[in-house]
């Protein structure tokens, strides 16, 4: 596990993940969804693709 790579991924994608979640579940739950998403990514980091979010 490379914590630096994970941190870079988080910084690069957190706003996009929160915005996606907000559109689907509302603002109140969007941060919980984003946190859960990145927790799953942290736990399964070896299987996360090089470009984790579609373009």
pLDDT band at 53 (very low <50, low <70, confident <90, very high): low
21 within 8 A of 34, measured Cβ to Cβ? yes
In the chain, domain spans: 3-46
pLDDT tens per residue, range 9-28:
999 999 999 999 999 999 99
Q: Write the pLDDT tens digit of every residue in 23-51.
A: 999 999 999 999 999 999 999 988 877 77
DSSP per-residue codes, the chain = --HHHHHHHHHHHHHHHHHHHHHHH-HHHHHHHHHHHHHHHHHTGGGS-SS-S--
Q: Residue 1 has what pLDDT? A: 67
pTM: predicted TM-score of the whole model, two decimal places: 0.81
- pLDDT range class, residue 55, cuts 50, 70, 90: low
């Amino acid at each position: 596990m490379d914590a630096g790579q994970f941190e870079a991924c988080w910084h690069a994608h957190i706003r996009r993940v929160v915005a996606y979640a907000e559109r689907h579940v509302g603002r109140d739950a969007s941060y919980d969804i984003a946190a859960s998403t990145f927790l799953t990514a942290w736990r399964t980091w070896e299987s996360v693709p090089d470009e984790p979010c579609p373009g």
